[in-house]
Structure 1
Amino acid sequence: MGSPESHHPRAPRLLMTTGSECVVLDTSVVSILFNEADDRRYHYYQERLAGRRALLSFQTVEELLYWRYARAWGEARALRLRDRIAEYEIVWPDQVLVHVSARLRSDLREMGRTLDVADAWIAATALMRQCPLASVDRDFVGIPGLPLIQPR
């Protein structure tokens, strides 16, 4: 069996079809949904995510837990976060995801763009799983092959 790179020499370019039945949620969207703010973004995402299988990158889980610890959330809010995270399918890193993320950052660098490591993990998760990415973060705009669910 060859390395993941031998199967995916230009992984992001090979994994760019979209699957409308799933969606990867960026940390920004999970936060909006978790806080259940009665604003247009909350309603926007509620409508567009209805009926889709929602996935989280392990990186999003790390960021959510970081907020919990850094902001010293009380037990009730921490338990609510734990329960909310449990509602999602979490995509953990494997060799393929590592290569997709590295290739994505390299390809973007060739285009004169940068993407921080955390955002690269999240974008690579969506590319690998062939799902659109729901995010309010403008850093994901223009990534080749990455469909976004994002208010304008």
Structure 2
Amino acid sequence: MFLLSACEPKPASQAPGGAAPATAEAPAPALAGPSLAGAGTTVDLAAMRGKLVLVDFWASWCEPCRREMPELEALYKRHQASGLELIGVSMDEARGDAEAFLRDVPVSFPMIFDEGQALAKSWSPPKMPTLYVVDQDGKVAKVIAGEVKFAELEAEVTQRLGGG
């Protein structure tokens, strides 16, 4: 038996129109979509400009994603009042799979269901999970492909929020 340290996503084609994938120091691609919370709400990265935003691409079938979700929730709760936002992006093929996952592993931060993989195509996460740190100016400051080292992420978030 073996365990994967990161889950490989299903291949996504190049970003629409030949746009570059989300990379460090580049402006973050657009990110908006229907909330998994329902009620016709939309989650939009552009509305969070001026805040530090973590964008987490995940899938219900990804075991590292399952392990990280409670730690992401705890990080979000610790720093939300200081200006941290977090957006989860489900890359599941079926919305019901993402909803079932979130019933088992509930979180308070907004989640988008990436129907048709349009966001994955424009952001091009290299593996599951992938976490993007988007700074207050809307630029991708860091890309973490694979499991997050939370002590390092905690230090980076604290520093970027002006606390260290």
TM class by shorter-chain length?
A: 0.3 to 0.5
- Going by fraction, where is strand more abundant, 1 or 2? 2
Q: Name the larger-Rg structure.
A: 1
Q: TM-score, normalised by structure 2?
A: 0.37
- Going by fraction, where is helix more abundant, 1 or 2? 1
